[in-house]
Amino acid sequence: MVRLHSSHPFGMYQRGLRAPLTGMSERIGRVRQLSRGPGDPGEAVPTASTVRQARDRLGGRDRLLAALESGSLVQLWSGVVVPAELAHDPVTRAEAALLRAGSGAVLSGTTALAMHGCRAADSRTTHVTVPYHRQLRRESGLVVRQGRVREREVVELDGLRAQVLDVALTEVLCTAEEQLAVACLRQATALPDVELGRGLWAMVEQRLVRRSDRRGTRRARSLLEAVRAPGRVTSLPA
C-alpha cells in the first residue's frame, strides 16, 4: 500500500486532482469534529465501528443496546454501527464498508474516485473490492466485488484504503453507467498539468490492455476515444 507524497507518481496525480476538486474527502475534518452532549450514549463512538469496538468503547453490551434503541447509533450494515447523524456521510460509509469487508478490502470504482476528489463520482452507494477468498453478500447501499487486490495498486486516502486513481477510473469505465463513466473520465483527466493528464490517460489505456476481466473493455476504449476526439465516435458498443 502506498501513502501518497509528492515524489511518488500517483502522488503527483493526487495533488493535481484533489486540489481543484473537492469530493467526499473534504468532509473528513467535519466528521471528526462533530460534538455530542454529555451523557449521549454515542459520544464514545466517533465514526464507524464494528459492534465489538462500539461495545468496548461504550462500556458494555447494555450501553450499546441503549445507544441503538435510542437511535443515537444505527447499524449501517451487518456488524457495523455508526452515529445516526453520520449515517449518510460518504466518508463514514466508506470507513464502515471497509470494516464490514474485512482485511484486504479496498474502496473501489466510483467510491475510490470520490475519495480522490472526483465530484462526478459521489454516490450514496459504496463500492468495495474484496479478495477472491472472501465471501461477502451485497447489502443495501453496499456493492461488493471480488477481485485481485494488489497492494501496489492500493493507496491510503484520509486513512482509508482505496484503489489508485488509474485503477479506479479503469473500473468505472468498464462497469459504470455510460454517462457517469464519461463524467468521471473528463474530471479525472482535466488536470491543470497537461503532461500529468496525458500520463493518466496512457496508464488507463495500459490497464485496459492488461485487464483480465475483458467485460466492458471494448466500451471503455470507445469512451476514451469519444472523449478524446468528440464527434469522431457516433455510436458506442452496448
pLDDT by residue for the chain (238 residues), tens only, comes to: 655 433 333 443 444 455 433 334 333 333 333 333 334 444 445 689 999 999 999 999 999 999 999 999 999 999 999 999 999 999 999 999 999 999 999 999 999 999 998 989 988 899 999 999 998 888 999 999 999 999 999 999 999 999 999 999 999 999 999 999 999 999 988 866 667 778 888 999 999 999 988 999 999 999 999 998 765 444 444 4
Q: What is the pLDDT of residue 34?
A: 33
Q: What is the pLDDT of residue 38?
A: 35
Cα gap 15→69, rounded to integer Å: 43
Comparing CA positions, the residue from 115, 73, 118 lying closest to residue 98 is: 115
> Where would I find the H helices in the chain?
9-18, 28-33, 51-58, 61-70, 90-101, 109-116, 165-175, 178-189, 194-210, 217-228
CB burial of 166-183 (b: ≥16 within 10 Å; e: otherwise) equals bbbbbbbbbbbeeeebbb
Comparing CA positions, the residue from 228, 210, 84 lying closest to residue 153 is: 210
CA–CA–CA angle 84, 85, 89 (5° rounding): 105
The strand order across the sheet containing 2-3 reads 2-3, 154-157, 160-163, 106-107, 126-130, 142-146
All cell numbers assigned to 200? 493518466
Cα gap 118→113, rounded to integer Å: 5
Q: What is the pLDDT of residue 156?
A: 95
Q: What is the pLDDT of residue 82?
A: 97
Residues paired with 70 in a beta bridge = none
Q: What is the pLDDT of residue 236?
A: 45
Each domain of the chain, given as residue ranges in start order, spans 2-28+89-164
Cα gap 111→162, rounded to integer Å: 8
Task: List pLDDT tens digits, range 172-199.
Answer: 999 999 999 999 999 988 866 667 778 8
Comparing CA positions, the residue from 77, 79, 133 lying closest to residue 105 is: 133
